[in-house]
Amino acid sequence: MTDDMNNEYDVVVVGGGAAGLSGGLMLGRSRRSVLVIDSGAPRNAPAAGVHGYLTREGTPPAELLEIGRDEVRRYGVDLVDAEVVSVSGAVDAGFVVAVADGRTVKARRLLLTTGLIDELPDIPGLRERWGKDLLHCPYCHGWEVRDQAIGVLARNAWAVHQAQMFRQLSEDVTLFLNDALTLSDEDAVSLAARGIRVVEGAVAAVESSGDKLTGVRLADGTFVEREAVTVMPRFVARAGFLADLGLESQEHPMGVGEHIPADENGVTTVPGVWVAGNITNLMAQVSGAAAAGALAGAQINADLIAEEIRSAVAATAAATV
Ligand SMILES: Cc1cc2nc3c(=O)[nH]c(=O)nc-3n(C[C@H](O)[C@H](O)[C@H](O)COP(=O)(O)OP(=O)(O)OC[C@H]3O[C@@H](n4cnc5c(N)ncnc54)[C@H](O)[C@@H]3O)c2cc1C
């Protein structure tokens, strides 16, 4: 997707997933000069289709992004394949964005939409099935495993909630406590009342045969057949390149990982820098990320207009002295 890259833009968007492209669309349509830099690793890449996105139900993730890229190009937005390694500067003097091959580009404003990393527990056989039959989100792929034998692998108390969510999709749900969780009496009662089986003991492996998950092996050797397994990742914002900017990831209030805090418009603590999508909202699905990107794009345009009004007023005043 690499286009030529100019030296300077009104806005550089770092990350070209749903959030970044959506921000680019709003800004491009506002006749802003915009560069979207993307390293080509969207979070949902292992999934066969994007679900829960009205009008695009089941579209392969790569196809959805290709449609988005075509749309933003129509408005003159430049799209470059590259990894951003650092961002420095400030709103008054402008920001400098550096990519891995050594090139740099200047920007008046930044929109950061680099998403997050799903950190999975270190259990043999688990990562290989990620996004196929090793799942985390009932809204993303729950329907696809409806009525199947589902295992829920506990890491913390979220597993109880996850088990109850997947129970909505199948009557055959087993919660593996994996030495990570002690159930309260209330949880034990509510799980039993909905027919969710609880298995104690450490999990040694998730096993597969061919391209299909077959079950969960416990440390004591017991094998429990399952067709799909769910686990809660730790969600960690991809924000390592932001150190020079003074933007740091913080623990999310829900205890599910680390994010870049921002207000509801994507405004961060650093003037001139916005965030949207999973980098700030760890729970956002594709539609939520796209909506947040669009909102941030509009806010950035408004902020640039305000700056341009101030300059125009000052220039007019200077000319009339
Ligand atoms: C397995 C799986 C399946 C999912 N299925 C669904 C589903 O069916 N429906 C749904 O709504 N949601 C689904 N999701 C959630 C979905 O992936 C996110 O909601 C969505 O990807 C968030 O969009 P984003 O733009 O914030 O981040 P991303 O889509 O992750 O995009 C971020 C982009 O930034 C780029 N990037 C990162 N760092 C840099 C850098 N330093 N320099 C340049 N570029 C960088 C990445 O390469 C990536 O392309 C799924 C998630 C997973 C893990």
Predicted confidence (pLDDT) at residue 2 exceeds the cutoff of 90: no
Give nearest CA residue, ligand 1 atom 20.
286
Q: Is 277 in the pocket of ligand 1 (CB under 6 A)?
A: yes
- What pLDDT does residue 309 have? 98
Three-state secondary-structure class, residue 17: coil
Q: Is 230 in the pocket of ligand 1 (CB under 6 A)?
A: no
Q: Phi/psi of residue 141, each to 5°?
A: -140, 15
- Identify whether 18 is part of a domain: yes
- Identify whether 3 is part of a domain: no
DSSP H helical ranges for the chain:
18-29, 61-73, 138-141, 158-167, 185-193, 286-320
Please report the atom of ligand 1 found closest to the CA of residue 279: 26
- Identify whether 186 is part of a domain: yes
Listed residue (43, 200, 180, 172) closest to 123, CA to CA: 180
- Could you tell me if 218 and 73 lie in one domain? no
- Could you tell me if 265 and 301 lie in one domain? yes
- Could you tell me if 256 and 313 lie in one domain? yes
Residue range 9-14: mean pLDDT, rounded: 98
Contact (Cβ atoms closer than 8 angstroms) between residue 231 and residue 126: yes
Band (pLDDT 50/70/90 cuts) for residue 321 is confident
- Could you tell me if 238 and 109 lie in one domain? yes
Domain membership of residue 249 as a residue range: 8-118+234-319
- Could you tell me if 110 and 59 lie in one domain? yes
- Identify whether 1 is part of a domain: no
What is the Å distance from ligand 1's center to 267 Cα? 20
Query: pLDDT tens-digit profile of 223-235?
Result: 999 999 999 999 9
DSSP assignments along 251-271, one per residue: E-TTSSEEE----TT-B-SST
Instruction: Identify the CATH number of the domain in which residue 312 sits.
Output: 3.50.50.60
Contact (Cβ atoms closer than 8 angstroms) between residue 81 and residue 87: no
- Could you tell me if 226 and 248 lie in one domain? no
Q: Is 15 in the pocket of ligand 1 (CB under 6 A)?
A: yes
Counting residues of the chain whose pLDDT is more than 70, the rounded percentage is: 100
Residue range 219-226: mean pLDDT, rounded: 98
- Could you tell me if 104 and 39 lie in one domain? yes
- Could you tell me if 113 and 261 lie in one domain? yes
Residue range 256-264: mean pLDDT, rounded: 97
- Could you tell me if 42 and 189 lie in one domain? no
Q: Is 138 in the pocket of ligand 1 (CB under 6 A)?
A: no
DSSP assignments along 40-66, one per residue: S--TTTTSS-B-S-TTSTTB-HHHHHH
Please report the atom of ligand 1 found closest to the CA of residue 43: 30
Predicted confidence (pLDDT) at residue 260 exceeds the cutoff of 90: yes
- Identify whether 161 is part of a domain: yes
- What pLDDT does residue 320 have? 87
**In the structure encoding, which two tokens stand for residue 48, read together?**
């066969």
Largest Cα–Cα distance in the chain?
87
Q: Is 215 in the pocket of ligand 1 (CB under 6 A)?
A: no
φ/ψ bin of 208: left (φ > 0), alpha (ψ from -120 to 50), beta (otherwise) = beta
**In the structure encoding, which two tokens stand for residue 236, read together?**
């960690």
What is the Å distance from ligand 1's center to 257 Cα? 16
Predicted confidence (pLDDT) at residue 106 exceeds the cutoff of 80: yes
What is the Å distance from ligand 1's center to 286 Cα? 8
- Could you tell me if 239 and 225 lie in one domain? no
pTM above 0.85, yes or no: yes
Q: Which of 44, 87, 256 to mutate to test the pocket of ligand 1 (most atoms within 8 A of CB)?
A: 44
Query: pLDDT tens-digit profile of 123-179?
Result: 999 999 999 999 999 999 999 999 999 999 999 999 999 999 999 999 999 999 999
- Could you tell me if 150 and 172 lie in one domain? yes
- What pLDDT does residue 1 have? 64
Question: H-helix or E-strand containing 149?
Answer: none
Q: Is 113 in the pocket of ligand 1 (CB under 6 A)?
A: yes
